[in-house]
Structure 1
Amino acid sequence: SREGNHPDDYSRLTYKKLLEEVCRCANVLKSKGVQKGDRVAVYMPMILEAVITLLACTRIGAIHSLVFAGFSADNFAERIMDCGARVLVTSDGAWRGEKLLQLKVICDQAMAKCAQKGHNIETCIVVAHLGRVMSPTGTPYNVNKTPMQEGRDIYWHEIIPEASSSCYPEWMEAEDPMFMLYTSGSTGKPKGVVHTTGGYLIYAATTFKYVFDYKPNDVYWCTADIGWITGHTYVVYGPLANAATSVVYEGTPFYPDNDRFWEVVDKYKVSQFYTAPTAIRALMKFGDDLVTRHDLSTLRVLGSVGEPINPEAWMWYYRLVGHEKCSIVDTFWQTETGGHVLTPLPGATPMKPGAASFPFFGVQPVLLDEAGKEIKGEGEGYLVFPRPWPSLMRTLYNDHDRYETTYFTKFPGYYCTGDGAKRDADGYLWVTGRVDDMLNVSGHLMSTAEVESVLTEHPSISEAAVVAKPHPVKGECLYCFVTTNEHGEFDEKLQKELRQLVRERIAPFAMPDVIHNAPGLPKTR
């Protein structure tokens, strides 16, 4: 089921219809010259065409590279050029709450930036989404406002429905790349994480089945955006590989009211619900009656993903949303791991609020100290893995050296997560957070270096240092120290310009909460 941004906007798609649409889209991609191994860039809201596009790529052996539709044109252009995509699939725009996102305009800016650097997108397929949904104001969107470049841009509805609904799948080796997804790197340049066809799919399917205890006739809903690994594994591939019935939601938790999540759970009789601690903490502020006024009795398993969940939020989730009868699965994993690596299993693992608990089948976690010595029993250290599992990333796109350096050189013989963890007396694992130059804002991972380099682009700034500051809702937020040069005046105007710069260059979620004037920054020799 698809639940739109507006409560009156919803639709359903059967597996048979999905297959037909995927084949049509696959045939169109092939007609545009897309072949096995080619990359296809995707910049989409949470609409069914996004799922169809990903599956169409996979069906013909093309490698989809989907970028979260909250990223800036600069970021998107960098990712398009890095993977060398010639075809782009997007939509004219989308509503998020009461906010209009002009996605095609951002894509146009990104394509122009690519062209300046000598990389041309040959085909841009555009879903005309805005004209078919309810706008928050009630006035229909003027579809003619969308800029379309003749010869390059084509509307989805003008080509996809005419294509054949049968498309023979491309046979793939288990180790052939299936898709790539960019994640923030500590040196600032994003990393194109590559997942493979056999290993990724088997692990996505297996973790989905056991971690959510999915049974026939259940209704599953993961609130994650398709732009993140959670959306790839637990909105698209995991549920579909298990023939699950699931909800795909386009809006926010706060529109039209702060009880939208609970309204949707009630509307579709959801049995498994998977969301992020940052959403839970935000919803806790609004009073219990927003939850209790809805019938949530169908819920059986509640999931948490994106960052460690604080015990207070866990208890609220358990008591109020789960009526003290749901299992809570606090799942630890990464873009790089492809699926859950540490998680409780519902009904099988006695729960401890805030603990990622135990490894999934076949996964071996180890804690190491700074010197690389294993910490046995109780203790805290670097979370690493001495053996792979099927969905561990195989490489970074076009940069295998960086893959080895980033993940395998700190502790030779181990995959290093970049996270710290502690083991308690009962053997439970608790993830404590990042131990490298990365921070986690509302479940979005980003690097301090990435933000620092954007801040120093400003003509008034000579140096910048970015650190994480605890935040009651986001978990962490950005605290930025900046040093101005002789022309720079540290005032409200400069702070506003710096926030806007980060917003434009990276994304709105990366905007600093605090910008601190530091006339001199300490250095190490």
Structure 2
Amino acid sequence: DLGSSMVPIANISGGTDIIGCFLASTPAIPMRPRCLYRGLGMHASVYNENGMEVYDEVAYLVSKKPCPSFTRGLWKQNDKYLDSYWSRFKDVWFHGDWATMSHDGYFYILGRADDVIKVAGKRVGPNEVEDAVLRVHGVRESACIGVPDEIKGESLIVFYIGDKSSEVSNAVKQKIEESLGRSFSPKKVIWVSSLPRTRSGKIMRRLVKSAYLHLPLGDTNNLENPESLAEIAAIDKGG
């Protein structure tokens, strides 16, 4: 309903390390909800673990060829640069995002690859869970993390901002089961008044997880609302 079908919502996906966007919306191609297309001059693709290009399969976002704005290295950390971006696939830029690609060239970003959660041997991106949660009436924002589970390996914990009620919490759980399957039913659905976000508005799942599990937080200087971490850390883990 955003924009009342009168205003196009333009998505982009890139990074400061390339000073540009691998994927973007373009007026030359029909838009689809939440999907993107290759940015101008970009050779984006999706590779599986074996370095094979795959379609309609959740795998890794890569760039098969360089673009003029690619960084050539990191200041005094060239080994880290090569290991982070060029070591997984030969002569291919590994961006670290989880994505799918359709045969007609549309991409769907599912979050960071290191955010992927493995529940009972099945992988799911937090974006997939959050997309389901945001379709529940009464939910405005959400964040999903994986926490250690002795039986499943990891379990889902879902945080949401919105109406604080058992009806909404139950609806969130039901929507996830309907969208992704009962194996991804969350261990907990937790209401919070705020989620940690950067000054540019990005929700920091890493800090949500660290605060919830009482792990070292690391750098929080870029947070707009550091007080949100104390609220998450104070949540009762029982039940």
Query: TM-score, normalised to structure 2's length?
Result: 0.54
Structure 1 residues 412 and 470, CA, compared in 2 at 3 Å: closer, same or farther? farther
CA 1:507–1:381 in structure 2 vs 1: closer, same or farther (change >3 Å)? same
Match among 41, 45, 52 for residue 366 of structure 1? 45
Q: Tell me, what secondary structure is at the counterpart of 1:514?
A: helix
Question: 2:29 matched to which residue of 1?
Answer: 349
Which whole-Å CA distance do the structure 2 matches of 1:334 and 1:388 have between them? Answer: 14
Structure whose alpha-carbon radius of gyration is higher: 1
CA 1:468 to 1:506, structure 2 compared with 1: closer, same or farther past 3 Å? Answer: farther
Structure 1 residues 379-405: Cα deviation after superposition (integer angstroms, max 9, x where no partner):
221001111111112211111111001
Deviations 1:293-338 (A, max 9, x none): xxxxxxxxxxxxxxxxxxxxxx31x31xxxx343332111111121
Matched with 1:380 is 58
8 Å CA contact retained: 2:45, 2:101: no
1:212-227 equivalences under 5 Å are none
Higher helix content, 1 or 2: 1
SS at match of 2:58: strand
User: Counterparts of 1:360 and 1:423 in 2: how far apart (Å)?
Assistant: 14
8 A Cα contact 1:481 1:517, kept in partner: no
Q: TM-score, normalised by structure 1?
A: 0.26
Query: Following the alignment from structure 1 to structure 2, what is the Cα–Cα distance between the partners of residues 469 and 396?
Result: 35
Which 5+ residue runs of structure 1 have no aligned equivalent? 1-314, 441-447, 449-466, 484-497, 520-525
| Counterpart among 17, 37, 43 of residue 336 in structure 1 | 17
1:340 maps to amino acid: C
Pair 1:423 & 2:101 matched: yes
Q: Show the counterpart of 1:8.
A: none
Paired position in structure 2 for 1:393: 71
Q: Aligned partner of 2:47: which letter?
A: L
Greater relative CO (CA pairs within 8 A, separation 6+): 1
Counterpart of 2:108 in 1: which secondary structure? strand
Return the match for 2:82 from 391, 401, 404.
404
Write the deviation string for residues 225-275 of structure 1: whole angstroms up to 9, x where unpaired: xxxxxxxxxxxxxxxxxxxxxxxxxxxxxxxxxxxxxxxxxxxxxxxxxxx
- CA separation of 1:331/1:481 partners in 2, compared to 1, >3 Å: closer, same or farther? same
Paired residue for 1:413, among 91, 108, 118? Answer: 91
Unaligned ranges ≥5, structure 2: 117-125, 128-144, 146-155, 162-194, 198-202
Amino acid at match of 1:326: V
Identity %: 23
* Match for residue 514 of structure 1 among 224, 228, 232: 232
What's the counterpart of residue 326 of structure 1? 7
* Residues 67-146 of structure 1: pairs in structure 2 closer than 5 A: none
Letter of the 1:367 counterpart: V
Structure 1 distance, partners of 2:214, 2:236, is 5
Q: CA RMSD in A?
A: 3.6
Contact 1:366 1:386 in 2 (8 A): yes
1:121 alignment partner in structure 2: none
Q: Distance in 2 between matches of 1:434 and 1:468?
A: 17
- SS of 2:21 mapped into structure 1: coil
Structure 2 distance, partners of 1:341, 1:415, is 11
Q: Which amino acid aligns with 1:337?
A: I
Q: Is the alpha carbon distance of 1:413 and 1:502 closer, same or farther for their aligned partners in structure 2, counting shifts above 3 Å?
A: closer
Give the conservation status (yes or no) of the 8 Å contact 1:470–1:476: no
